[in-house]
Amino acid sequence: MRTLIVVIGVLAVILLLALLLSRSSADTIPYTVTGTTGEIEFRQYPALVLATVDTADDNEGFSLLFDYISGSNKPREKIPMTAPVITAQKIPMTAPGVSDAASMSFVLPAGTTREATPDPLDSRVRIVTVPEREIAVIRFSGYAPPEDVEAATSRLQAGLKTSGIGTTGQPFLMRYDSPWTPGFLRRNEVAIGIRR
């Protein structure tokens, strides 16, 4: 009995530490929920400024973008980290599922304009503006392996088709948590622009 109590106590401490380490200090970009249907949530986002890298390698993309916000820009300014990190997906012409990543983006803080955004020192980082738009989102947890992303994307596209809602652009993945966050606590979302 004593061993069981010790094991439960150790597990509780590990869980508490995981929760404390996983809490992100990054601000989340603002949005307004405009409706739902089933597991799909509709959101209105303001115009955004993104720092983007074209790469299929998440580690390389994250590293380049993190360097940019850490001061690898012309005025050598630090830029606050925001959530989510957005990964745009390539979709093969012959399949409805999501395949390898084509780009990764960090969203710059709310209210940032292109004119006020520091230019990157590394030419692989580019600054992109995204106009105000409405998107449809499905949320899921875990480490977002390709099969989970593909499954969520398929559900999102099927749900929108059933509801008669048109889409714009390609699906993308939004990840909100630090690398230290346990999978069951992670917030991931697959999204796509919509026309209603």
> At 3, which helix (H) or strand (E)?
helix 2-22
Q: For residue 171, what is the domain's CATH number?
A: 3.20.80.10
- Asked whether residue 137 is assigned to any structural domain, the reply reads yes
The DSSP call for residue 111 is T
Range of the domain at 191: 31-46+132-196
- Looking at residue 102, its pLDDT comes to 80
Indicate the pLDDT class of residue 98, thresholds 50, 70 and 90: very low
**Lowest mean pLDDT segment, chosen from 13-17, 50-54, 78-82, 188-192:** 13-17
148-159 residue pLDDT tens: 999 999 999 999
- Asked whether residue 193 is assigned to any structural domain, the reply reads yes
Share of the chain above pLDDT 70, in %: 82
- Looking at residue 83, its pLDDT comes to 92
What is the rounded distance in angstroms from the CA atom of residue 80 to the CA atom of residue 111? 13
Count of domains forming the chain:
2
- Asked whether residue 6 is assigned to any structural domain, the reply reads no
Share of the chain above pLDDT 90, in %: 69
Q: Are residues 35 and 66 in the same domain?
A: no
Nearest to 83 by CA among 194, 173, 193: 173
pTM to 2 decimals?
0.81
22-75 residue pLDDT tens: 444 568 999 999 999 999 999 999 999 999 999 888 889 999 999 999 999 999
Burial class (CB in 10 A: 0-12, 13-18, 19+), 185: middle
Q: Are residues 159 and 95 in the same domain?
A: no
- Asked whether residue 59 is assigned to any structural domain, the reply reads yes
The mean pLDDT of the chain is 86
> At 7, which helix (H) or strand (E)?
helix 2-22
